[in-house]
Structure 1
Amino acid sequence: MAKMVIHGGKRLSGSVTIGGSKNSTVAIIPATILSDTPVVLDSVPQIKDVYNLMALMDEMGVKSDFQGEILKIDPTQIFPISLSHNKVTSLRASYYFIGSLLGRFGKAVVGFPGGDDIGPRPIDQHIKGFKALGATITEKDNYIVVEARNGLHGARIFLDMASVGATINIILAAVKAQGTTIIENAAKEPEIIDLATFLNNMGANIRGVGTQTIRITGVDCLKATNSHTIIPDRIEAGTYLSIAASSGNGILIKNIIAEHLDAFLAKVQELGVNLDVREDSIFVYPNSQLTGVEIKTSPYPGFATDLQQPLTPLLLLADSQSTIIDTLYPKRTRHIPELIKMGAKIKVVDSKIVIEHTDHFNAAEVTAEEIRGGASLMVTGLMAPGTTVINQAENIMRGYDRVIDKLRSLQADVSYSGSEKF
């Protein structure tokens, strides 16, 4: 069990550069096995999930090399294997191998995915899409077996909800299928656009990403000719914005696509945070008086569920009540008892998170049970005078690129006891 130790209560300053998107990266890495040539990815975040995916690919004969921000992947010698439950429980994004293996080999045998425990996240919409494309689905022990014995064919698929995971998985399966696939009520997240850009640059024919209707015409071959640069991580950016607004004496956050953060920035400015939004960066001024806000998460372009927890510590500084309703994952509240240990005045009332002004935070020993909940503890620990110890800090490392180095560049006093070289 890794620990993050924070000596908090210090005002921070300087600049920090946002890394490549975790949510793009964990979709694009499985997508690389659809390529008939080696692939080069740039701006890849140094996070635990990347190394977990590399280990899974190594089991399939896919060699990879990760140096700095450059990840080279050679899928040309890939062979199909079953990805066991034990191998895939470390991260939920392993389920993207279902779509990519199905698209490459016509069959995928994958253990049920793991990842953070933030409430029910069923894969019924993924299965609905695979069936429409001509696959049969069977479940055996802890495995899901998806097989298209007569090949995959295009289909019209209406998603009952705009699921990011299902949209991505269907794209991965359909990109080499015969004919045209139309996904209606598709998710619109920037990470889906990034995936489609990667695939299109290799010869795929995907249109309409970023809208509710995506059209995919199958192709026979995908070949990488240039490296693909991962888009900046909007969730990491939002987390550092929360740090800058709560503990900063003026912090510049670089490598940002502000349009990806429109809903988040609107709420931050409604709070009273003074921002200078520039072409590819945001300067966060020191803040004194903040006013409570009401937040309701929703699919993109709405307020991202992944940002409600990192923003919560900042809401505790507001002089009036704030509320959060997470319409996507209402059970995403496991960080709240840990925040209470640190002095936070926060509670859950009828699936609504109610946040009151908190004028004093105390250091404590707490546990990061998942990525974004861990981020909320990290932001609070930076505010709290004294020494905060965050157990299971490896969960934070799953989602935040070189976080210790970046916090130290802002003059934070932090350390990490895990074995990862971030």
Structure 2
Amino acid sequence: MKYIIEGGRKLKGEVKISGNKNSILPCMAAALLTQEEVILKNVPNISDVDIFIEIFKYLGVNVERKDSSLYINAKKIFNKSLPENLVSKLRASILLVGPILKRTGEVNFHFPGGDIIGKRNIQTHLDGFIKLGAKIIKNDLNFHISLDRPKKKISIFMDEASVTATENLILTSVLGNGKTDIRNTASEPHIIDLCNMLNKMGGKIKGIGTDNLEITGVKKLRGAEFTIGDDFIEVATYSIAAAITKGEIKIICNTKTDLVPIINILEKFGIKLIPMKDGFLVKSGRLKSPEKVITSIWPGFPTDLMSVVIVLATQSEGVILCHDWMYESRMFFVDKLISMGADITIADPHRVLVRGPSRLNGRVLETPDIRAG
């Protein structure tokens, strides 16, 4: 996709926030766990959803899209293999492995693709499947997973608080006769969305919003209607865009508590998000960089916002250390900002020093990942 952007203008007006990009895909995956219809509302209009719809149709699942709603009916799943040409486009396709495994007893898939922001292996997923009683056969980048002997009582301590691995373990544990305790889980708002949706479908998940989940398997999940939460990353992105153009915008959204750790950082830069009944009014004056911004697991500052914070730092007074310890290639887009006139020093693959403010000049750029874009 190609965009032509003419800068030098203040942003103004109002914007309605989309459904959470990181919520919709696991919630779509959850729809595969029931033979009844699932209706998802506030669905964002993004290519990731389009790819999931293509995969669903390949599996034999009926999907209908009406405006911002999806109607999914997985009464039957005819295919136990995920299509390599689609899986290679989207890392989140790994989320379909658990539901297909539970519905059909086995699944074949190719190593998933996606944004190039580091060594994003799937070992945490595979380790979790094995602990849940699965048998895995690997042939180069292809995997065959089958349910060997599902266990009655399982305790899992995750080596890392991976978001997608947490979601996959939840999706794989919610159906069955056993009880699964998962510790050191991720607890982002999109995981809360997934758990709330599954409970609405008849699941039994406790500890939602914490890093310790207790899941009691059920024999059957029913259909349900669920509204995807607003995208807090999008709220922050629009807020930063307004600030660096010295504009003022109104953001219409329902999410507020999810923004607390993000607003804390934005306020240090001088950006004000004034709460309103239906969202926020975003204002900014003189932008000044704090000493440092470091990503962390939730409820810390999210890695998905590091790229736009670096851009914000180029327009803020002072020197700031931006540190993303999660992905070793997250910072590799900054050379494009440097080519535009930014004063940035790359300390190592995880850390950069940004000195601002700098005047950025127009360039033809190719983005390495969606967040850098």
Instruction: With the length of structure 1 as denominator, give the TM-score of the two structures.
Output: 0.85
Q: Residue 233 of structure 2 aligns with which residue?
A: 235
Deviation at 1:224?
Answer: 1.4
Q: After superposition, what is the alpha-carbon deviation per residue over 1:287-334, rounded to whole angstroms, capped at 9, x for unaligned?
A: 234233411101100000000112221111111001111021132112
Match of 2:339 in 1: 341
Residues 324 and 354, structure 1, Cα contact 8 Å, conserved in 2: yes
Alpha-carbon contact 2:331-2:351 (below 8 Å) kept? no
Quick one: distance in 1 between partners of 2:84 and 2:305?
29
CA distance in 1 between counterparts of 2:11 and 2:198 reads 40
What's the counterpart of residue 270 of structure 1?
268
Distance 1:117 1:224, change over 3 A: same
Aligned pairs for 1:22-421 within 5 A: 22-151=21-150, 153-225=152-224, 227-350=225-348, 351-374=350-373
Partners of 2:55 and 2:83 within 8 A in 1: no
Extract unaligned runs of 5+ from structure 2.
none
Whether the 8 Å contact between 1:83 and 1:109 is mirrored in structure 2 is: yes
CA distance in 1 between counterparts of 2:282 and 2:291 reads: 19
- Write the deviation string for residues 256-309 of structure 1: whole angstroms up to 9, x where unpaired: 422212222111101122331335412111423423341110110000000011
1:31 is displaced (CA, Å) by: 1.3
Alignment partners' CA distance in 1, 2:150 and 2:58? 25
Q: Spell out, residue by residue over 1:327-346, the C-alpha distance to the aligned partner (whole angstroms, 9 max, x if none).
A: 21132112111111221111
In the alignment, which residue of structure 2 is the partner of 1:409? Answer: none
Partner of 1:215: helix, strand, or coil? strand
Distance 1:289 1:166, change over 3 A: closer
CA distance in 2, matches of 1:59, 1:71: 17
Contact 2:155 2:181 in 1 (8 A): yes
Identity %: 35
CA distance in 2, matches of 1:293, 1:71: 44
SS of 1:338's equivalent in the other structure is helix
**Counterpart code for 2:289:** T
* AA matched with 1:235: I
Q: 1:277 to 1:312 in 2, by over 3 A?
A: farther
Letter matched to residue 90 of structure 1: K
Structure 1 293/258 Cα, relative in aligned 2: closer, same or farther at 3 Å? Answer: farther
Residue-by-residue CA offset, 1:352-385 (whole Å, 9 max, x unaligned):
11111133111110011110011xxxxxxxxxxx
SS of the equivalent of 1:131 reads helix
Higher relative contact order, structure no. (Cα contacts within 8 Å, ≥ 6 residues apart): 1
Runs of 4+ in 1 over 3 A off after TM superposition: 149-154
Q: Is the CA contact (8 Å cut-off) linking 1:271 and 1:293 kept in structure 2?
A: no
1:32 shift after superposition: 0.7
TM-score, length-normalised on structure 2? 0.96
Aligned CA RMSD, in angstroms, stands at 1.4
Q: Displacement, 1:248?
A: 4.2
What is the CA-CA distance between 1:12 and the residue it aligns to?
1.3
The answer for the alignment partner of 1:412 in structure 2 is: none
More divergent stretch after superposition (134-143 vs 277-286): 277-286
Look up the match of 1:400: none
Question: Does the 8 A contact of 1:13 with 1:248 survive in 2?
Answer: no
Give the unaligned 5+ runs of structure 1: 375-422
Moved more, 362-371 or 285-294: 285-294
Tell me the secondary structure at the aligned position of residue 239 of structure 1. Answer: helix
SS in 2 for 1:7: coil
Partners of 2:353 and 2:67 in 1: CA distance: 41
CA distance in 1, matches of 2:277, 2:331: 35
> After the TM superposition, which of the residue ranges 192-201 and 124-133 deviates more from structure 2?
124-133
| Distance in 2, Cα, partners of 1:205 & 1:358 | 51
In structure 1, what is the Cα distance between the partners aligned to 2:245 and 2:66? 32
In structure 1, C-alpha distance between the alignment counterparts of 2:17 and 2:303, rounded to whole Å: 19
Equivalent position amino acid for 1:167 in 2: T
Alignment-mate amino acid for residue 368 of structure 1? T
What is the letter of the counterpart of residue 47 of structure 1?
I
Aligned partner of 2:4 in structure 1 is 5
Instruction: Give the 3-state SS of the residue equivalent to 1:334 in structure 2.
Output: helix
